[in-house]
Amino acid sequence: MAPELVTVREGDDLLHTLGVMRYKGLRRLPVIDGSGTLVGIVSMDDVLEVFSEQMAEMARALRREREHEIQNRA
């Protein structure tokens, strides 16, 4: 636990949130709304899962594109 409560706002982008987590050395970070009410918690595990899903989708798209290019060359 950090000695101070570190939060991000629900409108903050992911890169900002990751920067806060990295700078403060946190694996979990509370997310608050404009009135300071807790609306969720973002965890490094959640972020890694989303990134891995996105990377897998990019790999599938690249593979389809490569197959399409090979078919059009013939």
pLDDT in tens, 6-32: 999 999 999 999 999 999 999 999 999
Q: Which amino acid is at 51?
A: F
CATH T-level fold of 8-73: CBS-domain (3.10.580)
| Whether the model pTM is above 0.95 | no
Confidence check: pLDDT of 68 > 70? yes
Confidence check: pLDDT of 1 > 90? no
Looking at residues 22-46, what average pLDDT do you find? 96
Residue 8: Cβ within 10 Å count: 20
Beta-strand relationship, 38-43 and 8-9: unpaired
Q: Which amino acid is at 53?
A: E
Looking at residues 39-63, what average pLDDT do you find? 95
Domain extents in the chain: 8-73
Average pLDDT, the chain: 92
CA distances in angstroms from 8 to 16, 42, 50, listed in the order given: 9, 9, 19
